[in-house]
Structure 1
Amino acid sequence: MPGRAAVFCRLLAPVLVAAAMLAAPPSLARELPPALQGELQRIGEGELQRIGEGELRWLGFKLYDAALWARPEVVAVPPDNEAEAAQVLGAEHALSIRYARAVSSDRLVELSLGEMRRLGFDDEAQLARWGQALARALPSVEAGETLVGLHRPGEGAQFWHQGQPTAALDDAELAAAFFAIWLDPRTREPRLRAQLLGLAERGR
């Protein structure tokens, strides 16, 4: 009997580890890289404030946790309505995503470009250039790892993986298209968008 119990425990252990990983709280998605906050302080700007968070599931499986950060001095945070949400997104904001499963860099880029096409970006030559830029910004991730993107509307974006910088994109249109995947009203995941913006709690 002890032998059977040991075998059972060995077989069950990976399942329990995976379940614990998927059920873990979004602690890493709740934090911004110290390097990002340090950069903001260096250029004389205040810290960003988390305004909302949520998770994305597919067929019952958690894919990732996400949190949105913005400047509280721009407008009431979280915003009260779509007009205020637009004001928040018109200023500097950051999106942090903590993945519940491993995803390759190629897959992250492929999914991003697919959503951009769905949102109306259909210049394939431009998308090819964007794909090359995103490949530098979005490395492969393991379960439990976090990617953070800082959007500076009208300028571009910066990215971090596990707190370490990956790339800075000096392409305002690419940056806007990337963050639109989650934050545009036409997003594929309107419930997650509402959670990120804090609108879900207000029933909007």
Structure 2
Amino acid sequence: MKIKEIILFTANIQKQKQFYQNVLEFELILDLKEKISFKTGASILSFQHDKKAVNASHFAFNIPSNQEQDALLWLQKRVQILPYGHDLISNFTSWNAKAVYFYDSDNNIVEFIARKNLEINSHTSFASKSILSISEIGIVTTNIETVYNSINNMKNIPVFSGNLMRFCALGNDEGLFILINKTLKKWYPTQEEAFTSNFIVRGDYNFSFENGEIKELL
């Protein structure tokens, strides 16, 4: 499943611009007062201004399958890593993947994940241009089954991991919707409470998630 663009909402668009352009060195491709966009491999990460307070989100980027350690070293020069216990790199054996986590300036939990099953290796020094694509967007709800049905009704989508009660990842190694029941599960790796946050996604599936509801974009 390909995610071509995610649009998140922010009350601090200039802080997000400074973080992604100057700290992470992402390529800025749209710079408007109300919206900014960055090229992230085959995807686009965008932020739309919203004057209201915005709940934090979780999203992830696929990186080369062999570069989780290189990505960690690169990130440590720029951000504070979010560990899981004493581990700076999380090892997801059932997914055959390793990941590194950090906050952006809105306290969104951002993840760089090296999925071994993709078998996309790189032998050049890791940099922001090493990012392959956006690979995950978190969807926080109180009813995973309802959200799953809304997405699956647009076009059949496989369950990659989990179930319809507590946690369910939909899609494949290229792209995943991460559905969590906020009454039963907290964000990994910080174990902080997950709140529903609005976003727009474009790609193989096109929809907005607003106030807990999926609305297909035609």
Question: Normalised by the size of structure 2, how large is the TM-score?
Answer: 0.30
Higher strand share: 2
Greater RCO, 1 or 2 (C-alpha within 8 Å, sep 6+): 2
Compare CA radii of gyration and give the structure with the larger one.
Answer: 1
